[in-house]
Amino acid sequence: MERNGIFDYARATEKKPSRKPGPFHSRRLRYRAIVDVAVILVSAGAGAAASILTAYVTYRMTARQDQKKWRAELAEKYALLVADQPRAAQALARQFAVGVLIVERGDTALREKVFIAPYTRMTAGRSEDNEIVLPTVYASKHHFAISADGANAYIEDLGAANGVALNDSFVRGRTLLRTGDLIKVGESCHVEFQSLTSSV
């Protein structure tokens, strides 16, 4: 505000007319507002997605732990009941059964149903300490074992002297049982498996 080396106070303090923002300026402000809203929405969406993902993972982990606990408790309760109260053990097995064994000992009037609880194991043989007693000379003291996971039942040879015949072939290792499978122990004793789950 100097003119020829002289300070012009009047000119320096003179108010300049304010400029009206042009159309470009207002567009820039609107664009900035839209960007700010978009950033807020994206941040909120990312936060919500992270919260949902965390809740889902927590739920799955808790459900898996609860399922493991339930399996262990069921197997333990079943094992305790089998020793002292076989009828109560079968009542428990019936509630959660993955399959049923229909044991026929010679006469069809002597049919017995044995329910297979999930995550359990039972043995069959001539000895009285088996869950399934097979009163025939063709059966070994501990002839075969039946075990189950959450959906399927399996048979396993326990070293039977005559082997374990399943549908006219011998069992090798742990074998999956399917609906209608027939376990033969001699001529007079047959055990039929029926699945109670839809997987087999």
Domain CATH code at residue 168 = 2.60.200.20
Predicted confidence (pLDDT) per residue in 25-78, tens digit = 677 777 788 888 888 888 888 888 888 888 888 888 888 888 788 777 877 777
Where b means 16+ CB within 10 Å and e means fewer, 59-68 reads: eeeeeeeeee
Same domain as 180, residue 148: yes
Is pLDDT above 60 for 3?
no
Residue 176 pLDDT grade (very low, low, confident, very high; cuts 50, 70, 90): very high
* Within-domain flag for 127: yes
Percentage of residues in the chain with pLDDT exceeding 70?
84
Q: Which residue segment(s) compose the domain that 50 sits in? A: 21-84
Domain identity same for 27 and 65 = yes
Q: Which long-range contacts (CB under 8 A, 24 or more apart) does 27-30 make?
A: none
Q: Give, in order, the Cα–Cα distances in Å from 82 to each of 20, 48, 60.
A: 93, 51, 33
> Do 75 and 110 belong to one domain?
no
117 and 174 co-located in one domain: yes
Instruction: Specify whether 75 is located in the same domain as 46.
Output: yes
Given 53, 84, 115, the domain boundary residue is 84
How many domains does the chain fold into? 2
Whether residues 41 and 120 fall in one domain: no
Please state the rounded mean pLDDT for residues 93-106: 82
**Residue 110 and residue 158 in one domain:** yes
What are the start-end ranges of the H helices in 18-106? 23-84, 86-96
Q: Are residues 133 and 180 in the same domain?
A: yes
- Residue 34: per-residue pLDDT: 85
Confidence at residue 178, expressed as pLDDT on a 0 to 100 scale: 92
Quick one: residue 30, left, alpha or beta (phi over 0 = left, psi -120 to 50 = alpha)?
Answer: alpha
Place of tokens 């009941």: 81
Q: Could you read off the pLDDT of 78-93 as tens digits, one per residue?
A: 777 777 777 787 777 7
Q: Are residues 74 and 107 in the same domain?
A: no
Q: Among 84, 105, 129, where does a domain finish?
A: 84
- Write down the pLDDT at residue 123: 92
- Identify whether 125 is part of a domain: yes
User: Residue 119's pLDDT band (boundaries 50, 70, 90)?
Assistant: confident
Output the pLDDT for position 182: 93
Do 147 and 112 fall within a single domain? yes
- 78 and 101 belong to one structural domain: no
6 assigned to some structural domain: no
**Does residue 166 sit within a domain?**
yes
Tell me: do 143 and 170 sit in the same domain.
Answer: yes
